[in-house]
Amino acid sequence: MKGTNSAQRKVSYAFVLLAAALLLALPRQAGAQDPPGRVARLNFVQGSVSMQPAGTQDWLEANPNRPLTTGDNLWSGDDGRGELHVGSTSMRLSNDTGISFLNLTDQAVQIQLAQGTMNIHLRQLGDSDAYEVDTPNLAFSLLRAGEYRINVDPNGNTTAITVMSGSGEVTGGGSAYQLDPGQQGIFSGTSPLSFDNEYAPAPDDFDNWCLARDSREDQSPSARYLSREVIGYDDLDAYGVWRTDPVYGPVWAPSRVAFGWAPYHQGHWAYIAPWGWTWVDDMPWGFAPFHYGRWAYAGGGWVWVPGSVAVAVGQPYVRPIYAPALVAFVGGGGFSVSIGLGGGIAGVAWFPLGPRDVWVPAYHCSPAYVQNLNISNSTVINRTQITNVYNVTNVTNITYMNQNAPGAVMAVPKEAFTSGRSVAAAAVKVAPQQIQHPQVVERAAAAPPKNLAPAAAVSASTRPPAALANRAIVTKMKPSPQVVPIGQKTMIARSNLVKTAPPAPPARKLPPPNPANRPAAAAPGRPAAPVVRPATPPANRPFTPPPSKAVTPPANKPFTPPPSKAATPPPNRPFTPPPSKEATPQTNRPFTPPPSKAATPPANKPFTPPPSKEATPQTNRPFTPPPSKAATPPPSKKTEAPPPGKPAKEQKKTKEPEHP
C-alpha cells in the first residue's frame, strides 16, 4: 500500500507535464507575429457606460476588469463617465462620448473620438511611442507628455482641442498646426480646415473630476512598490497590504477575501484575440495581480509577487508585458488536453503559477517574446531557465511551485469555461486520484466560441446614436483594417468613411488669440488643486438689498428696537439697532460702538451701509437709533459715500466687535 501511495505522489500532477509536452509540441513559427505587450483597461465607471467587443455587434455593460484592445468600442451615456488606462496614461470620457481603438500596439495608441469629450493625461512618452486621436475632421498627434482635452460636437463638424500642458500637432485639410500649452484650437470643416485660436478656458466640472482622479493616482502608496505602467496598481491600496518577504522582497497580500480564498477562483474566462483565453476577475482590484507578476503561498496565505515591474531606484525603465492569465492549465494552454470529471463530463482545471515557474503561451509567438514576458514578470527566472522550458523535450523534470498549495486547483466543466460562466458557481470538486491520473478526453485545441460575449455579460442600457453610422474619420497613422468603428458595421478596409489626411507642410503655429478673450482665471497649466467649483458659486454673488418697502417698518406701528442679539441682522431682514442700554460694554472694558459695517450681513454677501451720518454712533455718546428712512437701502446699482472722516477702504477692514 505504501508503495502504491509513493508511486501516486511521484506522478502527482503528471497531467501538467503531459500538457506541457503537448503544448510545446505545437509548431512554432520562426518570426511569428507577437501579440502586443500592452492593453487598455476601463478601470472606473460612473453612470451608464457600455462596450462593444471587437468582432461582435453586441453592446454590453462595461466590465472594468476586461482588457481592451484594437477594435473594441466604448460609449458613455448621458449620465456616464469612464476612466481608462494604457500603462500610466489615463484617458477619461465625459458623458455622451464614443471612442474606438483603431490601433493598440507596443508602439502606437490610435483612438477615434467620434463624439463627445475626452481628457488624456500622458505621463510618459517614449522615443518610439505614438499617440493619435482621430476625429471627423482632423488627426491630433500628442508630441509631449502633458494633459490634453479633445471635444467633438454632436454633429461632427467641429473639434476643439485644449492643451493644458504638453504639445500637439493638428493635421487636416492639407494643413498642419502646432498647439502649445494654454491654447485652445477650434477647428471646423474639412477642406479647407478653418480654425480659431483661443486661450484655454477655465476648468469646468469635468476638468475638476479629472484632476481629482489624477490626485488619487499621485498619492497612491502602491506607486512606491510598482511601476505606474502596471495597469491597476492604484486599486491595490484599499484592498490589501504591502510587506517585505525574506525570499521575494515586496509582496502584496489581499485583506478582504474569504477564508480559503485562492487566486483565479472568482471570475470567468473570455476569448480575446490575439491572446485567446483570458482571465477576467470579479474583484475590484482584480487586474494587476492576474496579468502581471506571480502568486506564491507564503506565511499561511497567498501573496502577489510583482516581479521586475517593481520600482527599483536607479534601474532602467522596464515596461511590463501583459499576459492573459499566468496559470498552468490541466491540458495545457486552455484545451490541448482536457480531464474527465466523471459522469461523461469533460472539464478543464488550472492553478496559479509561482515566481519560479516559466509561463509558455498557448498562442504562437517568438522565443524573444516568451523571454521578455517571463523576465518582466518575475525576479527569479533567468534566460537559461526560460530556454530550457521553451525547448523542453523531457517534461518529467518540471515541478510547479503551487501544484500542491492549499486550494490552488480549480476545475469547471468545459461548457462553463467556453461560455464565460462564473467559475465559482460552476466549480467541480475533483478527487485527488483524478488529479494524479487524469483521463484524457480531448487532444485538439478548442476553437474560439461562436459568441464572444460571455454568459455573465449584461446587455447594455445605452448605445451610441444612429448618426455615428455615417461619421467620417480623418487619420494620419494607418489604422488596423479589421476595425469596425463605433456605430458602424463595415470594417475600415472596406469603408469609404475613413480618410487619410493628405500630406501637409511643416506645422505652423496658430496666430495669438485675442487678448480681450482671455478668461479671468485662465492659466497655461493645470489648476493647483482639484477644488470643485460650481459655474456660479452662490458665495461669490454680490448682495443685492431688497426693495425699500421690505426694510421700512409697517405704517402706524412704533419702531421697537430688538435685543442686542439682532445687531447683526440675517440676510433679507431690515437692520434694527439695539437699544443703547444693551450696547453698554462689559465691566473693565471700554465701549467701542460698532461701526457702520456692523450692518453688514454674513461673509461673501457685502452689505451697502446706509448713507446716514447718524448710522455710525460716535465714541462716548449714547447710541441713538437712526430714523426709519435711514434703514431704507439706496438703489442697488449705486455706491453710497462712506461716513465723513473715514475712507471706504478703511471701513471694510473694520472688524465687528464682540458682544457679551
Instruction: Compute CA 6 distance to the chain's CA centroid, rounded to the nearest angstrom.
Output: 53
What pLDDT, on a 0 to 100 scale, did the predictor assign at position 516? Answer: 73
pTM of the model: 0.73
Q: Which residue has the higher pLDDT, 286 or 605?
A: 286
pLDDT at 401 (0 to 100): 87
Q: Which three cell numbers stand for residue 337?
A: 488536453
Domains of the chain: 7-25+227-436 (no CATH), 40-86+89-215+484-517 (2.60.120.1440)
| Residues sharing a CB contact under 8 Å with residue 326, sequence separation 6 or more, in sequence order | 290, 291, 292, 293, 294, 295, 352, 353, 359, 377
Distances (CA, A) of 651 to 302, 394, 402, 573, 655: 69, 93, 78, 22, 9
Please give the grid coordinates belonging to residue 272: 480575446
What's the pLDDT at 393? 44
pLDDT, tens only, 586-599:
444 445 555 544 44
At residue 519, the pLDDT reads 72
Q: How far, in Å, CA of 446 to CA of 337, rounded?
A: 9
Strands 73-76 and 168-172: unpaired
**How many other CB atoms are there within 10 angstroms of residue 520's CB atom?**
5
Q: Determine the pLDDT at residue 376.
A: 80
What is the model's pLDDT at position 207?
Answer: 97
Q: Which pLDDT value is given to residue 436? A: 57
Is pLDDT at 357 greater than 80 in this prediction?
Answer: yes
Split at pLDDT 50, 70, 90, the class of 540 is very low
Q: Of 436, 84, 87, 460, nearest to 291 (Cα)?
A: 87
The band of 319, judged by pLDDT with boundaries at 50, 70 and 90, is confident
pLDDT tens by residue, 202-252: 999 999 999 999 999 999 999 999 999 999 999 999 999 999 999 989 999
Q: What is the pLDDT of residue 208?
A: 97
- pLDDT tens, 102-112? 999 999 999 99
In this prediction, residue 494 has a pLDDT band, given cuts at 50, 70 and 90, of very high
Give the per-residue pLDDT at 565: 45
Count other Cβ atoms within 10 Å, centred on residue 507.
17
- Comparing 281 with 551, which gets the higher pLDDT? 281
Name the CA radius of gyration of the chain, rounded. 34
31-77: pLDDT as tens digits:
458 999 999 999 999 999 999 999 899 999 999 999 999 999 999 99
Rounded CA separation 254/261 (Å): 10
Write down the pLDDT at residue 209. 97
Cβ-contact 596, 623 below 8 angstroms: no
- Comparing 128-142, 200-214, 281-295, 560-574, the range with the smallest average pLDDT is 560-574
Angle, nearest 10°, between helix axes 367-376 and 383-390?
A: 130
Average pLDDT over residues 95-106: 98
- Percentage of the chain modeled with pLDDT above 90: 48
Distance (Å, whole) CA 549 – CA 628? 11
Using the predicted structure, report yes or no on whether residue 447 has a pLDDT greater than 80. no
- With left for phi above 0 and alpha for psi between -120 and 50, is residue 92 left, alpha or beta? beta
Overall average pLDDT of the 301-313 stretch = 75
Q: CB under 8 Å to 239, separation ≥6 — which residues?
A: 254, 255, 256, 283, 284, 285
Can you read off the three cell numbers belonging to residue 208? 475638476
Instruction: Write out the three cell numbers for 480.
Output: 488596423
The whole-number pLDDT of residue 118 equals 98
Higher pLDDT, 542 or 503: 503
DSSP, collapsed to helix, strand or coil, labels residue 482 as coil
Of the candidates 450, 444, 455, 451, which has an alpha carbon nearest to the alpha carbon of residue 346? 444
How does pLDDT run across 358-383, given as a tens digit for each residue?
888 888 889 889 888 888 877 666 66
Percent of the chain at pLDDT > 70 equals: 64
Determine the Cα–Cα distance for residues 465 and 471; give it in Å rounded to an integer: 11
**Residues 405, 412 contacting (CB under 8 angstroms):** no
Q: Decide if pLDDT at 13 tops 50.
A: no
Contact 73, 115 (CB under 8 A): no
Residue 595 has what pLDDT?
52
Confidence of residue 619 (pLDDT cuts 50, 70, 90): very low
At residue 644 the predicted structure's pLDDT band, cuts being 50, 70 and 90, is very low
Give the pLDDT confidence score for residue 622 in this predicted structure. Answer: 52
Q: What pLDDT does residue 533 have?
A: 35
What is the pLDDT averaged over residues 403-417? 88
pLDDT of 523 above 90 = no
- State yes or no: pLDDT of 559 exceeds 60: no
User: Which residue shows C-alpha cell 447718524?
Assistant: 614
Backbone angles phi, psi at 384, to 5 degrees: -65, -45
424: left (phi over 0), alpha (psi -120 to 50) or beta: alpha
What does the pLDDT read at residue 510?
84
Mean pLDDT to the nearest integer, 394-419: 80
Average pLDDT over residues 601-629: 50
The three grid cell numbers given for residue 508, joined into one nine-digit string:
505652423
Q: Where does 63-202 show beta strands of DSSP type E?
A: 67-68, 73-76, 81-86, 89-93, 97-104, 108-122, 130-134, 139-142, 146-152, 158-165, 168-172, 175-179, 183-188, 194-199
* Pair type for strands 60-61 and 49-52: antiparallel
Which of 106, 111, 35, 21 has the alpha carbon at shortest distance from 364? 35
Question: At 549, is the pLDDT very low, low, confident or very high (cuts 50, 70, 90)?
Answer: very low
For position 79, what pLDDT does the model report? Answer: 95
Of residues 521, 615, 534, 515, the one with CA closest to residue 574: 615
Q: What is the pLDDT of residue 550?
A: 42
Q: What mean pLDDT value characterizes the chain?
A: 76
The SS3 of residue 436 is: helix
Of 185-199, 460-474, 609-623, minimum mean pLDDT range = 609-623
Burial of residue 436, with CB atoms counted within 10 A of its CB: 0-12 exposed, 13-18 middle, 19 or more buried: middle
